[in-house]
RNA sequence: GCGCAUGUGGCGUAAUUGGUAGCCGCGCCAGACUUAGGAUCUGGUGCCGAGAGGCGUGGGGGUUCGAGUCCCUCCAUGCGCACCA
């Protein structure tokens, strides 16, 4: 009987569904294993062959661990809120709820065809109220929490309120956050706190809440009509859609992820994640140690506070620079410079983020006419405004030390400002000396010290004078959390007398209201402002922004543990059993976005005692991207003529993408091409060798590039098991590679060879019940060991070739013995589940192969008696000699030197003979 | 500019600890069988060379009895960050 994958795959998919084979329950006492895929956004384009790569790998791990006796949690769901559905809704008027549901059912059909072992009873959809109810609930917990810098964790806001009631607020006390937001908070006494109005108290508390409302500089994307978080902006353009982004000051909900900067950085050491992801997170967090220094203003009250990592160079300061947005600029500018400064600031703010970034190399700035006093020399130091200083980092002001900082140096050269050498070792005539080596010179009390020592001494002195203190700064910014969009979780907040309040937990979920059109209002308010009669308790205005796409994905791994719980986001029993993800698989593009928010929310929920773990996933692997191979035709400009790729140099042409399905092996099917698009109907062609060759290029797989390959097509032709094996066979999981069906036949033929080995006749395998030989047992046990070792280190491509080698060897041995073949069915079950299930039943089993146990390999079948030693002379292998492995090093050496072949290569006694037992012999002459 | 990956036959790749480089598959070459197939089976296939032999893991250098693997340096490609004081 032939291997009829169409019948087999359909049959077992139905069986698994009916038997609920993949349903998982918490079983205390049984060891658990949690395998998680990064869930997909269900786009209208459906799955392409790149998506399942990771899903197949994680499915193999799940099935393998199950066979190994683990209770495996392997769920799937959908990251279902997001911009594309909403953009589509704006264009077509279709409710995003409907298109999202349609897309999800398409995804589900495609996923089912591949034969995954997901427990679909735990499916989640972030856009459904039974899920986003808990996303809103977590937001409420964030709102009612603050970060205590003494205990280094989140605590209920009530604790802060009672501290205010007893002691007031001392901004210099260490437990209070001091960052860019909090600097606007003034100290107050307990009595003053008690005297404050509700509004005043609320404003103070917003400076501490982990979810807070504030005026903040945000990334505003006019084309999308919304604010974006930093990780959603790439090079000044929106990640989704590629629209320009500008800076805008607006009232905005944010999450205080900066409070967790230190822990997010520190705990990276404890998790088994790719070094590249950890490094990206370290860079994103951007910790730097330094000190603040306050420079007293001349002719004004107050001071300019700077942050520097090089307080040792304080004697080399020749000017101060403020960011154009700095609040002091307006205040301190001298009358005679006012118009010039205003012009400069205006010019700076008119620029887009993009323009600012591309003009990085251009030096620009403007003197304000103001001066500060040098804290140690008393010298007057001019204050400038310049774009190279970022408002959002540190204090938005720098002390410029041109001798030892590249940017300051360029600035000083450009404006002819003094350059002072204070660390010896370089030549400040030529360039800035930025190395942290050398001795301090021209630096008062720091003279003669090394850089490290000088930094230490300088901080001590600065702190002694009370003009600053040692500080750690982070590049990480708080995350903008409100989106001026419709298709997201409503933020569960209403406003009473201008004060934000969260709704009662018992009133959750706050449902997304129905509106007539998904566009912003005429006055520019977010779409939710269109909702009629949408008021809290009929009285109070709701918040009209919604949560960003990453809200729902920041905690979803917990919901799978207890997906249908209506009382809690996850039960204690479930989370105590499943703990955290053991194996998390997803794309590398989430290194700093999703994965940072996920870790942040996990730590927060841990702090409040809701969950027992402070990291979401112990092990993370990034699967590589499967790229598309696009095909191109070359149209001769201004004509309907297309020239074959090899001849295109002779003409002026424009390359056009052509659908890969009408250009098999990059040879254009001319008839199909003419039918493909109406305007190509009368196309003419210049051929080479009688055919039209297309150009090829590796690009991202996408609809617009006509290079998408649908797994459904591969399955129709070869079956899901072939697709699964082939995707694994393509190479290491982490590596990106272009999709090519070259070689898929090899994998398919391998399955057919395996199938034939089982001698299937009617509805059973006709196998020999004979005792296996030593050679056969060796093949079996070698394969078991290889497959086990390779899955454990997530090396799936090598497992597939191990299966192939196994079949080749058993074919050579003409083995058709049950004792050998039956365990092999269990071995391959994680990779080719339908195939294995069919064979398992043909072998006479009544139960599913998924309930079998993974076979154990035994050393006794693998021991070798002899070894064919390669003998190398001076490192070059010259001949081989078969010797017993029982021989000692000396005996091996004697055997080699006595052998007939050695005389061809050496005369007399060798200098040295190295014997590595069981490996190699090297003779040095 | 900085950081992180990755460079091995015509192609995808393998070599888990420094120990026979090229397993497995594709492709290609030769052959067998035939109910002529996108089937199956056998043999061959890193490069140069008729052969003996030589050369070979991006280039150069080093450590070592021995290097794809370790160290230094340069080059190429991909990704991330980029005025972060």
Q: What is the pLDDT of residues A559-594, one digit of tens each?
A: 999 999 999 999 999 999 999 999 999 988 888 889
Say what the pLDDT of residue A612 is: 97
Using the CB atom, is residue A363 less than 7 Å from strand B?
no
Q: How far apart are alpha carbons A168 and A192 in whole angstroms?
A: 7
Q: What is the mean pLDDT of the segment spanning A52-68?
A: 96
Each residue of A66-111: pLDDT tens digit?
999 999 999 999 999 988 888 888 888 899 999 999 999 999 999 9
Q: What is the distance between the alpha carbons of residues A376 and A371, in angstroms, rounded to a whole number?
A: 15
Interval A496-506 mean pLDDT: 95
How many residues does this entry show for chain A? 925
Distance of CA A837 to the CA centre of its chain: 35
Mean of pLDDT values over A642-665? 82
List pLDDT tens digits, range A718-734.
999 999 999 999 999 99
Q: What is the pLDDT of residue A147?
A: 92
Q: Measured in angstroms, what separates residue A562's CA from nucleotide B68's C1'?
A: 48
Closest listed residue to residue A550, CA positions, set A230, A178, A145, A99 = A230
Q: State whether the beta carbon of A790 lies below 7 angstroms from any atom of strand B.
A: yes
Q: Which nucleotide is the nearest neighbour of A288, by CA and C1'? A: B84
Q: Could you report the per-residue pLDDT of A515-527, keeping only the tens digit for each? A: 988 888 888 889 9
Nearest to A116 by CA among A150, A82, A72, A86: A72
Distance (Å, whole) CA A526 – CA A484: 5
Structure tokens at A269: 């050491």
Residue A359 contacts strand B, CB under 7 A = yes
Find where tokens 């290194």 sit: A591
Residue A357 — very low, low, confident or very high, per pLDDT cuts 50/70/90?
low
- Evaluate if the CB of A750 falls below 7 Å from strand B: yes
The separation, in Å, between residue A76 CA and nucleotide B6 C1' comes to: 32
Q: Which nucleotides of B are covered by protein (CB under 7 A)?
A: 3-5, 11-16, 19-21, 23-27, 38-42, 65-67, 78-81, 83-85
Distance CA A768, CA A894 (A): 46
In 3D space, the residue among A646, A832, A625 whose CA is nearest the CA of residue A64 turns out to be A832
Joined tokens for residue A898: 């006595």
How far from A110 is each of A51, A96, A107, A834, CA to CA, in Å? 11, 21, 5, 16
Distance in Å from the first CA to the final CA of chain A:
62
Q: Is the pLDDT of residue A756 over 50?
A: yes
Geometric angle at alpha carbon A766, from A848 and A815, rounded to 5°: 100
3-state secondary structure of A509: coil
Give the model's pLDDT for residue A196.
Answer: 95
Distance A623 CA to B78 C1' (A): 15
DSSP annotation string for A94-121 = --HHHHHHHHHHHHHHHHHHHT----GG
- A566: which residues sit within 8 A by CB, 6+ positions away? A130
pLDDT of A179 > 50? The answer is: no
Per-residue CB contacts under 7 A with strand B, chain A residues 579-598? 588-589, 591-592
Is the reported ipTM for this assembly greater than 0.90?
yes
Choose the weakest-confidence range: A347-361, A424-438, A690-704: A347-361
No. of helices (H) and no. of strands (E), chain A: 28, 35
> Is A76:A24 a contact under the CB 8 Å cutoff?
no
Q: Rounded to an integer, what distance in angstroms lies between the CA atom of residue A143 and that of residue A202? A: 12
A592 vs A550: CA distance, rounded Å = 12
Q: Are A161 and A131 in contact (CB under 8 A)?
A: no
Considering only residues 694-733 of chain A, list those whose CB is below 7 Å from strand B.
717, 729-732
In window 663-692 of A, residues with CB < 7 A from nucleic chain B are none
- pLDDT, position A90: 85
Beta-strand relationship, A479-480 and A246-255? antiparallel
Radius of gyration for chain A, computed over Cα atoms and rounded to the nearest angstrom: 34
Query: Does A295 score more than 90 pLDDT?
Result: yes
Between CA A67 and CA A63 the distance in angstroms is: 6
Write the pLDDT tens digit of every residue in A399-411.
999 999 988 998 9
Through-space separation of residue A743 CA and nucleotide B36 C1' in angstroms: 24
CA distances from A485 to A44, A491, A617 (A): 19, 12, 31
Task: Say if residues A150 and A55 touch (Cβ distance below 8 Å).
Answer: no
Lowest mean pLDDT among A146-150, A174-178, A443-447, A573-577: A174-178
CA A807 to chain centre: 39
Computed over every residue of chain A, the mean pLDDT equals 89
Distance A832 CA to B79 C1' (A): 33
Q: Tokens 């094996």 correspond to what residue?
A: A725
Question: What's the pTM?
Answer: 0.92
DSSP letters of A244-260?
B-EEEEEEEEEE-GGGG
Among A808, A852, A855, which Cα is nearest to A833's?
A852
Q: Please say if the pLDDT value at position A688 is more than 60.
A: yes
Of residues A664 and A612, more confidently modeled: A612
The whole-number pLDDT of residue A242 equals 77
What would the two tokens of residue A398 be? 């720098």
Any atom of strand B under 7 A from CB of A747?
Answer: yes
A5 by DSSP, 3-state: which? Answer: helix
Q: Which of A277-286, A357-366, A462-471 has the lowest mean pLDDT?
A: A357-366
Which element (helix H / strand E) includes A264? helix A261-266
CB A922 under 7 Å to nucleic chain B: yes
**A223 prior amide bond cis, ω within 30:** no
DSSP lists the bridge partners of residue A642 as A635, A685
Task: Give CA A113 to chain center in angstroms.
Answer: 27
Q: pLDDT by residue (tens digit) across A847-905? A: 999 999 999 999 899 888 888 888 888 778 888 888 888 888 888 888 888 877 777 77
| Across A795-805, average pLDDT | 94
A516 secondary structure, DSSP code: S
* Mean pLDDT across A655-671: 82
Q: What is the pLDDT of residue A222?
A: 82
- Per-residue pLDDT band at A375 (split at 50, 70, 90): very high
């Amino acid at each position: 009987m032939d291997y009829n994958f169409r019948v087999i795959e359909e049959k077992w998919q139905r069986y698994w569904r009916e038997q609920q084979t993949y349903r998982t329950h918490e079983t205390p006492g049984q060891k658990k294993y949690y395998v998680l895929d990064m869930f997909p956004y269900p786009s209208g384009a459906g799955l392409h062959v790149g998506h399942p790569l990771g899903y197949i790998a994680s499915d193999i791990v799940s099935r393998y661990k199950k066979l190994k006796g683990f209770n495996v949690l392997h769920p799937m769901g959908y990251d279902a809120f997001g911009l594309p559905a909403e953009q589509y809704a704006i264009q077509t008027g279709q409710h995003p709820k409907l298109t999202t549901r349609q897309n999800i059912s398409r995804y589900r059909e495609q996923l089912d065809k591949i034969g995954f072992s997901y427990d679909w009873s735990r499916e989640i959809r972030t856009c459904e109220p039974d899920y986003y109810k808990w996303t809103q609930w977590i937001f409420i917990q964030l709102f009612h929490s603050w970060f205590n810098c003494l205990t280094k964790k989140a605590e209920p806001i009530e604790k802060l309120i009672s501290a205010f009631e007893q002691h007031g607020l001392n901004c210099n006390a260490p437990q209070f956050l001091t960052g860019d937001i909090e600097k606007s908070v003034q100290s107050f006494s307990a009595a003053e706190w008690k005297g404050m109005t509700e509004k005043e108290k609320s404003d103070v508390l917003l400076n501490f809440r982990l979810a807070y409302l504030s005026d903040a500089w945000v990334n505003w994307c006019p084309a999308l009509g919304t604010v974006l978080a930093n990780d959603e902006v790439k090079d000044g353009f929106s990640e989704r859609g590629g629209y320009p982004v500008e800076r805008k000051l607006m009232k905005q909900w944010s999450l205080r992820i900066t409070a967790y900067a230190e822990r997010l950085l520190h705990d990276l050491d404890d998790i088994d994640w790719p070094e590249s992801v950890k490094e990206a997170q370290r860079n994103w967090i951007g910790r730097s140690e330094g000190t603040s220094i306050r420079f007293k203003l001349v002719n004004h009250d107050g001071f300019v506070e700077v942050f520097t990592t090089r307080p040792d160079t304080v004697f080399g300061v020749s000017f101060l620079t403020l960011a154009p947005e700095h609040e002091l600029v307006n205040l301190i500018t001298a009358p005679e410079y006012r118009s010039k400064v205003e012009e400069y600031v205006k010019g700076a703010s008119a620029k887009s983020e993009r323009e600012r970034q591309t003009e990085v190399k251009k030096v620009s700035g403007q003197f304000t006419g103001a001066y500060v006093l040098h804290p140690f020399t008393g010298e007057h130091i001019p204050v400038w405004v310049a774009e190279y200083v970022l408002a959002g980092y540190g204090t938005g002001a720098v002390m410029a030390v041109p001798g030892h900082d590249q940017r300051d140096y360029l600035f000083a050269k450009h404006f002819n400002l003094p350059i002072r050498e204070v660390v010896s070792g370089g030549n400040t005539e030529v360039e800035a000396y930025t190395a942290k080596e050398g001795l301090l010179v021209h630096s008062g009390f720091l003279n003669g010290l090394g850089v490290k020592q000088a930094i230490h001494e300088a901080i001590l002195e600065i702190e002694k004078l009370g003009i600053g203190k040692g500080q750690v700064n982070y590049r990480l910014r708080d995350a903008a959390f409100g989106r001026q969009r419709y298709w997201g979780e409503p933020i569960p907040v209403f406003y009473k007398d201008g004060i934000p309040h969260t709704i009662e937990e018992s009133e959750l979920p706050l449902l997304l209201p129905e509106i007539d059109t998904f566009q912003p209002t005429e006055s520019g308010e977010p779409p939710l402002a269109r909702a009629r009669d949408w008021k809290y308790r009929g009285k109070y205005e709701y918040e009209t922004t919604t949560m960003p796409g990453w809200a729902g994905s920041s905690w979803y791994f917990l919901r799978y543990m207890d997906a249908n719980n209506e009382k809690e986001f996850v039960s204690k029993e479930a989370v105590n059993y499943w703990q955290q993800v053991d194996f998390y698989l997803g794309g590398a593009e989430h290194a700093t976005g999703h994965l940072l928010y996920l870790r942040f929310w996990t730590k927060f929920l841990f702090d409040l005692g809701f969950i027992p773990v402070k990291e979401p996933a112990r092990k993370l692997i990034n699967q590589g991207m499967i790229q598309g191979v696009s095909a191109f035709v070359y149209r001769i400009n201004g004509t309907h003529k297309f020239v074959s790729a090899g001849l295109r140099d002779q003409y002026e042409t424009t390359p056009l993408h052509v659908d890969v399905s009408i250009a098999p092996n990059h040879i254009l099917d001319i008839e199909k091409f003419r039918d493909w698009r109406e305007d190509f109907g009368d196309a003419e062609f210049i051929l080479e060798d009688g055919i039209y060759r297309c150009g090829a290029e590796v690009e991202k797989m996408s609809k617009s590039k006509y290079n998408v390959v649908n797994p459904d097509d591969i399955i129709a032709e070869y079956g899901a098991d072939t697709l699964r094996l082939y995707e694994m066979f393509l190479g290491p999981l982490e590596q990106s590679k272009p999709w090519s069906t070259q070689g898929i036949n090899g994998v398919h033929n391998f399955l057919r060879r395996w199938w034939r080995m089982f001698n299937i006749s009617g509805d059973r395998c006709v196998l020999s019940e004979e005792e296996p030989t030593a050679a056969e047992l060796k093949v079996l046990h070698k394969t078991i060991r290889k497959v086990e070792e390779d899955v454990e280190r997530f090396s799936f491509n090598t497992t597939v070739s191990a299966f192939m080698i196994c079949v080749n060897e058993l074919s050579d041995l003409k083995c058709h013995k049950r004792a050998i073949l039956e365990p092999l069915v269990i071995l391959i079950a994680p990779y080719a589940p339908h195939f294995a299930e069919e064979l398992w039943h043909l072998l006479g089993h009544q139960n599913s192969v998924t309930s079998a146990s993974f076979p154990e390999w035994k050393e006794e079948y693998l021991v070798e008696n002899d070894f064919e030693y390669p003998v190398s002379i001076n490192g070059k292998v010259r001949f081989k000699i078969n010797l017993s492995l029982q021989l000692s090093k000396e005996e091996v050496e004697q055997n080699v030197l006595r052998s007939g072949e050695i005389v061809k290569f050496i005369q007399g006694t060798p200098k040295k003979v190295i014997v590595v037992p069981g490996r190699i012999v090297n003779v040095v002459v």
